[in-house]
Amino acid sequence: MDALLADRDTRIIVCCGSGGVGKTTTAAALGVRAAEHGRGAVVITVDPARRLAQSMGLTHLDNTPRPVPLPEADGAAPPGTLHAMMLDMKRTFDEIVEAHADPERARQILANPFYQSLSSSFSGTQEYMAMEKLGQLRQSGDWDLIIVDTPPSRSALDFLDAPKRLGRFLDSRLIRVLGAPPATGAFKLLGAGVSMVTGIIAKVVGAQVLSDVQRFVGAFDAVFGGFQERAERTYRLLQARGTGFVVVAAPEGDALREAAYFIERLRRDRMPLAGVMLNRVHRAGVPGLAGDAALAAAAELAATGEHPLAGAALRLHAERARVAARERLLMDRLAAAHPEVPAVEVWARPEDVHDLAGLAEIGRALAGGAER
């Protein structure tokens, strides 16, 4: 991880993984560690939870990158900087409208009911806007490293799929035909058949909805065009040298199956996989004491009725050893299935990370953890 962060050619890191494995914490910790390497980093999260802001000591995050006050190390501030933001998909969409339209046309689009629904709840909009924001941050040149925290579960890879789906929808022939006013050439060429189809659609969705779509597309097409092309441009950026995907997983069956799915999908799409981060890995407190031996000793103490606290400690150790052995078996299976993928393990902590000092510790663990 340190080599990845210190490499100035690394410009984008995308953290993906199933929910509840510490993906957001990992993204934030990578940002803190990158600043310690002298990088100018920005962390962008598309997870609606507020954990990132809380762990970074900020009252809130919004669609504008906010500076993070980094803790000093050895009496000196880190040589780099860190900013953080949370994607507001509707605000990002609004910004695109305002940037590409004259004020009157922008007002018409922003007030259109179909646009309001599209920009706030349409499937794929969030991931498309994440692509847009990533492209904006990369183009601005204000940061030399962008770290993206993606949505949980397999929807993390919607970050790759959904922009294409939305782009195809917005560039589709159906939308263009529906958006064409009846007097235009599109309807004259296609004749009564289209009129019949749109009449049916109007009955199903309502004439007002169809009218909203037509007005939206009429304004939208003149301003944008090529949504799919824009998504594909950022998609190619994700495939390029300088991007690295980090798959975050916990040593649990479901999470590791998701991790294997991500690894295979990234390889199939020719996405640069930097490695796997195995989070919250347990270890026995006394590695030399086997779990079975601890249980046997605890049983002997229980039979004598002496040293109840020692017996409880032995039973606790046996349980931790059992958990550690089960996790090791699961992690070894993943390693055997994907021996070419580097992995780093971060030990389980007694409590959740909730501040910058904890994030800095996780960053150091990522750099010098039990790597294999």
Q: How many residues does the chain have?
A: 372
- Strands 370-371, 343-347: pairing is antiparallel
CA separation for the pair 300, 310 (Å, rounded): 11
Instruction: Count Cα atoms within 13 angstroms, Cβ side, for 40.
Output: 8
Q: Output DSSP code: residue 273.
A: E
- Amino acid, res. 251: P
pTM greater than 0.95 (yes/no): no
Q: What are phi and psi of 273, to 5 degrees?
A: -90, 115
Beta strands in 282-369 (DSSP E): 343-347
**How does pLDDT run across 168-178, given as a tens digit for each residue?**
666 655 565 55
For the segment 241-261, the average pLDDT, to the nearest whole number, is 93
Q: What are phi and psi of 357, to 5 degrees?
A: -60, -40
CA separation for the pair 78, 101 (Å, rounded): 41
As given in the structure block, the two tokens for residue 282 are 């347990």
For the segment 187-212, the average pLDDT, to the nearest whole number, is 48
**Predicted local distance difference test score (pLDDT) of residue 83:** 95
**Predicted local distance difference test score (pLDDT) of residue 210:** 60
